[in-house]
Amino acid sequence: MDVWEHFYDLTTQLEEKVHQTFTERNRSEMVAHVEKLLAERDALLLKLPQPENEAERALIDDVLQKDLKINQKLEFLFDGLKRELRNMKKQKSSKQRYTNPYQSVSTYDGMYVDHKK
């Protein structure tokens, strides 16, 4: 198989995987698979020769278009993960405040300190 065709196949697989629906159950598997495909693609990127004919140039154009879609989808998914992590941290802190509401109260509670002499 030609190197460019293999690169195109990896890009197509990556695009299909990224456009699948992510759930909480399969998220770690999907992320691992996407990372694996990206690593293979990165290793193959160093071995790519200059395009020799029009067919390879057409593959390059198609890969570039797919790459834009993949990057947009990955940014969208990454933003969703960041938002979810922020919500989890916020939920954790509000749960702590609910269970121990007097945690942030000053230690001078009930004590009178006279600053005048």
pLDDT at 9: 94
Residue 117, pLDDT score: 64
What are 40-74's pLDDT values in tens digits? 999 998 888 888 889 889 989 999 999 999 999 98
Residues 50 and 43: their CA atoms lie apart, in Å, by 16
Tell me which amino acid residue 86 is.
Answer: R
* Chain position carrying tokens 């989808």: 73
Identify the segments of the chain with pLDDT beneath 70. Answer: 1, 105-113, 117
Question: What pTM does this model have?
Answer: 0.71
pLDDT reported for residue 95: 83
* Residue 77, token pair as written in the block: 């998914």
Residue 41 tokens read as: 């693609």
